[in-house]
Chains A and B, each alone.
Chain A
Amino acid sequence: KQEVTQIPAALSVPEGENLVLNCSFTDSAIYNLQWFRQDPGKGLTSLLLIQSSQREQTSGRLNASLDKSSGRSTLYIAASQPGDSATYLCAGRTSYDKVIFGPGTSLSVIP
C-alpha cells in the first residue's frame, strides 16, 4: 500500500530563514505531485504542481522538486515570513491512478 510521510511534522523558525519541507512516498511510482498550504479552518490552496514531464517548479519564494526515482519531493521556502505560517501538504498521483496525501508539516514563522 502506498504511504506518504512528511518530515518534519512541525517546524518553528524565525522570520527570514530559508527552510525545506520533505515529502516521501513508499512506492516511488509517482506521476504528478502537488504541494498545498492549509490555513486553520480553511480548505487547501494549491502552491505548486509538478507534472510527469517536469522535475521542479518555482513560484516566487517557493521551489518544489520531485525525484521520481526515489519518490521524494522537497518544498523550499526562501526568506520565510510570518504569513507563511500554515500546514503544508503534498499529494501524489500514483501509478495506480490514486491520489494520496501526506499528513502535512505544520510551519510556524516567528516574527
Chain B
Amino acid sequence: EAGVVQSPRYKIIEKKQPVAFWCNPISGHNTLYWYRQNLGQGPELLIRYENEEAVDDSQLPKDRFSAERLKGVDSTLKIQPAELGDSAVYLCASSLEKGSGSATTYEQYFGPGTRLTVT
C-alpha cells in the first residue's frame, strides 16, 4: 500500500515569491492534515480536512496561506508571498476517521515532508 506522497521534497525560494506544496493521501483516507514543523519542535497543525471540508483552520495564517482539497483526495497548500519566517518543514498526514467526539478512532500517517527555505 502506497503511503502519503508529498512533492516537492525540497524548495528554496526568495522572500515575497509564491510557493505551493502538493499532497496525495493514502487511498480511502477521509481526513487530511497539513502541519508545519520548525527545527527542534513538534508539528503544528495548520489545517485539517474531513473529505472536502476544512474543519479546523484556526492556525492557518489566512493573509498569506491558502489550501484546497479538491474532490476530497489530493490537497495543495500555498504561500503567497513567502516570508523568511516561513522556512520550515511542511508535513502532510492522512487518516481514516470513524465515530465522533471521545469515540473517534483514527491513526495518522505522515508523508516525508517538504523542506522550505526562504532566503
Contacts and interface: CB of A to CB of B under 8 A. Distances in A.
B107 A4 contact: no
Given A97-B56, A99-B45, A42 B101 contact: no
Interface stretch (B13-21, B61-69, B75-83, B108-116): B108-116
A27 B55 CA distance: 22
A103 B93 CA distance: 18
Interface string B24-50: 000000000101000011111100100
A55 interface: no
| B: interface residue count bin | 20 to 34
Interface string A22-62: 00000000011010100001111110010111000000000
| A: interface residue count bin | 20 to 34
B42 A104 contact: yes
A42 B112 contact: yes
Contact of A34 (B91, B101, B108, B112): B108
B104 A93 contact: yes
A102 interface: yes
Contacts of A52: 102-105
Nearest to B112: A43
A70 interface: no
Contact of A103 (B33, B41, B101, B108): B41
Interface in A54-111: 89, 91, 93, 95, 97-104
A43 B104 contact: no
A103 B40 contact: yes
B112 A93 contact: no
A58 to B, nearest CB: 16
B61 to A, nearest CB: 17
B39 to A, nearest CB: 11
Contacts of B42: 4, 89, 91, 101-104
A44 B112 CA distance: 7
B2 to A, nearest CB: 14
B99 to A, nearest CB: 9
A11 to B, nearest CB: 15
B34 to A, nearest CB: 12
